[in-house]
Chain A
Amino acid sequence: MNRRSFFAALVNPQPAPDAPAMTMRTGAHGERVSLLGYGAMRYPTVDGSHANNFRGGSNAPIDLALVQRQIDYCIEHGVNYFDTSPAYCRGESEKVLGDALAKHPRDKWFVATKLSNFNPKVWSHEASKKMYETSLRLLHTDHIDFYLLHSIGGGGKDSMKVFNGRFIDNGMLDFLLKEREAGRIRNLGFSFHGDEKVFRHALAMHDKVHWDFIQIQLNWVDWHHAKEVNPRNVNAETLYKLLDERGIPAVIMEPLLGGRLAKVNERVMRKLVPLDPAATPAQWSFRFAGTFPRVLTVLSGMTYLEHVVDNVKTYSPLKPLGEREFAALERAAAAFLSDDSIPCTACNYCMPCPYGIDIPGIFGYWETALADDALPDDPTDPSYAEKRRRFLLGYEQFLERLRRAERCTGCGRCKPHCPQAIDIPAMLRKVDRFIEKLRRNGRA
């Protein structure tokens, strides 16, 4: 060891040579992909605010130094799949990721990005093509390893029309197939939220298009209970089996439901602790997603380095779940679901609200209270007064006065953007009415 490497090791500890290696999976063309994938949608910002910290939206710049450290750590520990999109983080995600990856050799990482042409204004061939070319430029590369049609299945009743408008009628799919032939796209796939009809339609194109991979939402709640979380969603089991039958590698998103499954929920933990008292909820969730053999990589939007460290550990190597553990998670899923739940994953697609409402922040606060059994919903509960006090205090402390649920005008502009198809204005009103009732019951 020379002086240089000694100091480098001091600042940035390298994995011990005998550290267990990350579990790897094989892609459609023999790529060796790490089971943990880095999601570039939940970057830390310099104000320390992020999606799971009650405050949802933030205009603060991304903390580039923290991001660089995470990316370096990922690559040093075998993580080689990095997922971004032109829409993420106010459109800054690709550039930040591209710059952070640039210092590492190109053969050390795979990058995934998407055709995020959600707005009809960019449905045209030229505008969509420009989006693709911008991605290549911002990522400082001549080829994209994994390219996705971003979030097909959205658009409500018009989901088929939206799919055709975004990818088929403008010739973008044909263009991307040619790009794949030319080697500038190595794997072509799509990500899916919402209408099952569109999923099956896209899958039926497989014989012609040969999807190299498909990205789906999978976690132990969505496995069998997606419809209960949200009537428009499709059970992950159904989606996974359809991919498995066709031998299409599955990329997993939302393994933690936007962090909601990483939260300790007493009702849930009661089912899990007897089997493995030391495992964290996040570890359970990552082991669940990784156990399925057709899964290529599990994406995690890791905001802070400790998330990366923890998840790397879980997958180095993966300890697959057995029958007993699956059964326990199935029971836990039933306990997790509550009628009062708001299935927000804090993806921020609805943001910014034109009236400045912190939508993911409000829903996050609500869900945290629900998971903590801290929702003061039962006045006969002996701890009602204490719960009420804390709930109101926390709400006022964490959410700025002009960004709370009461300021929602009900204009509904957020609604079409939600991949979970949440009726956002109705849910904001639900939270607001609950709080209003609490305030009025102060003297009861």
Chain B
Amino acid sequence: METVTRRGFIASAGAGAAVCAAAGAEKEDDKLTDGGIADVTPPGVPERQLHVVPPGAGGHRNFSTRCVGCQLCVNACPNNVLRPSKDPRRVFQPEMGFENGYCRPECTKCGEVCPAGAIRRITPEEKKTIHVGHAVWHSELCIAYTEGVDCSACAEHCPAKAIVRVPMNEKDKNSPKVPVVDSMLCIGCGACENLCPARPMPAMTVEGLECHREVRPMSGLKK
């Protein structure tokens, strides 16, 4: 007999919720009356292979050796991105999560308050060139891919202009477009993950980088 693992159970529950969300979107065809407002589900928190630490940290090694877990940056973060880790190995050390907001390009607050040198002070200009992670696309969740919705949420809001929308049918310019991430440009700010309408999990999630690095100068930020 096939046993249901915890992982399998949660995954199938998630798939069910996705179907419900899709049904909500489909309901439009039955629209007979006006007004009202649809329920909104907050985005889920994805499991990351590698957690993300803020720009200015340099990378995981610098960050984890210097951070004293004082929570000053967590308090200072105006976008609610930084929060203490739940991982016992990094207890109290902050990490980034994007369900409440994303690491906005004009903000350098965490570096300004860090007393331990775990997050270096950087300028907003510098920040735009630091890779802290890269976005990964999950086709099975993306509404552009699964439902053919003309969704441009991630590409529209990417501060690094790292997401290109490409038609799935080479011969038809108007066929549904799916997002393609240019990892040379993606800095890992989490805008796409934060604004992705897919539920229960965003179809774009950020994976952290072990060592932060700089965007190549010639890639030139267009925005």
Residue numbers of A with Cβ under 8 A of B are 56-59, 86-91, 116, 118-119, 121-122, 347-356, 358, 400-403, 406-413, 417, 429, 432, 436, 439-443
Tell me how far the C-beta of A419 lies from the nearest C-beta in chain B, rounded to whole angstroms.
10
**Given contacts A406-B195, A407-B153, is CB(A351)–CB(B106) below 8 Å?**
no
Complex Cα distance A88/B100, Å?
34
B149 pairs with A90, CB closer than 8 A: no
Residue B38 is within 8 A (CB to CB) of chain A in the complex: yes
Complex Cα distance A411/B39, Å?
17
Residue B33 is within 8 A (CB to CB) of chain A in the complex: yes
Query: Using Cβ atoms and an 8 Å threshold, which residues of chain B touch A432?
Result: 156
A411 pairs with B149, CB closer than 8 A: yes
B153 pairs with A409, CB closer than 8 A: yes
Complex Cα distance A91/B33, Å?
5
Complex Cα distance A439/B157, Å?
13
Picked from B33, B37, B42, B100, the residue with its CB within 8 Å of the CB of A358 is B37
Picked from A57, A401, A439, the residue with its CB within 8 Å of the CB of B35 is A57
Residue B27 is within 8 A (CB to CB) of chain A in the complex: yes
Of B34, B143, B149, chain A has the most CB atoms within 10 Å of the CB of: B34
B24 pairs with A351, CB closer than 8 A: no
Residue numbers of B with Cβ under 8 A of A are 24-25, 27-40, 42, 100, 104-106, 124, 143, 149-153, 156-157, 195, 197
Complex Cα distance A59/B38, Å?
8
Complex Cα distance A86/B31, Å?
12
A57 pairs with B150, CB closer than 8 A: no
Picked from A119, A403, A409, the residue with its CB within 8 Å of the CB of B31 is A119
B33 pairs with A356, CB closer than 8 A: no
**Given contacts A354-B27, A442-B106, is CB(A410)–CB(B37) below 8 Å?**
no
| Interface of chain B: mostly helix, strand, loop or mixed | loop
Complex Cα distance A403/B28, Å?
18
- Complex A-B, nearest 4 residue pairs according to Cβ-Cβ distance, in ascending order: A57-B37, A91-B33, A356-B40, A409-B151
B32 pairs with A355, CB closer than 8 A: no
Complex Cα distance A125/B106, Å?
59
Query: Using Cβ atoms and an 8 Å threshold, which residues of chain B touch A90?
Result: 33-36
Query: Using Cβ atoms and an 8 Å threshold, which residues of chain B touch A401?
Result: 100
Of A88, A354, A412, chain B has the most CB atoms within 10 Å of the CB of: A354
Taking A121-B29, A401-B100 as given, write out 14 further A-B residue pairs in contact, using a Cβ cutoff of 8 Å, ordered by the A residue number: A86-B32, A89-B35, A91-B32, A119-B32, A348-B35, A351-B34, A354-B24, A354-B27, A402-B40, A407-B153, A409-B197, A410-B156, A411-B151, A443-B124
Complex Cα distance A321/B40, Å?
48
Picked from A86, A402, A409, A440, the residue with its CB within 8 Å of the CB of B152 is A409
Complex Cα distance A350/B37, Å?
10
A122 pairs with B32, CB closer than 8 A: yes
B38 pairs with A353, CB closer than 8 A: yes
Query: Using Cβ atoms and an 8 Å threshold, which residues of chain A touch B40?
Result: 355-356, 400, 402-403
Query: Using Cβ atoms and an 8 Å threshold, which residues of chain A touch B152?
Result: 409-410
A351 pairs with B32, CB closer than 8 A: no
B151 pairs with A349, CB closer than 8 A: no
Complex Cα distance A119/B32, Å?
6
A407 pairs with B195, CB closer than 8 A: yes
Query: Using Cβ atoms and an 8 Å threshold, which residues of chain A touch B33?
Result: 86-91
Complex Cα distance A295/B32, Å?
30
Residue of A nearest to B42 (CB): A402
Picked from A358, A402, A412, the residue with its CB within 8 Å of the CB of B150 is A412
Query: Using Cβ atoms and an 8 Å threshold, which residues of chain B touch A91?
Result: 32-33
| Cβ contacts A to B, 17 pairs, < 8 Å | A58-B35, A88-B33, A89-B34, A89-B35, A116-B32, A119-B29, A119-B32, A351-B34, A352-B38, A356-B40, A406-B157, A409-B143, A409-B150, A410-B151, A411-B25, A417-B31, A443-B124
Complex Cα distance A407/B143, Å?
14
Tell me how far the C-beta of A325 lies from the nearest C-beta in chain B, rounded to whole angstroms.
35
Picked from A121, A349, A358, the residue with its CB within 8 Å of the CB of B34 is A349
B28 pairs with A354, CB closer than 8 A: yes
Tell me how far the C-beta of A92 lies from the nearest C-beta in chain B, rounded to whole angstroms.
8
Complex Cα distance A408/B196, Å?
10
Picked from A88, A356, A440, the residue with its CB within 8 Å of the CB of B37 is A356
Query: Using Cβ atoms and an 8 Å threshold, which residues of chain B touch A412?
Result: 150
Tell me how far the C-beta of B119 lies from the nearest C-beta in chain A, rounded to whole angstroms.
18
B35 pairs with A88, CB closer than 8 A: yes
Complex Cα distance A409/B24, Å?
15
Tell me how far the C-beta of A409 lies from the nearest C-beta in chain B, rounded to whole angstroms.
4
Complex Cα distance A403/B157, Å?
16
**Given contacts A402-B40, A412-B150, A440-B106, is CB(A355)–CB(B25) below 8 Å?**
yes
Residue of B nearest to A353 (CB): B38
A58 pairs with B36, CB closer than 8 A: yes
**Given contacts A402-B42, A412-B150, is CB(A440)–CB(B105) below 8 Å?**
yes
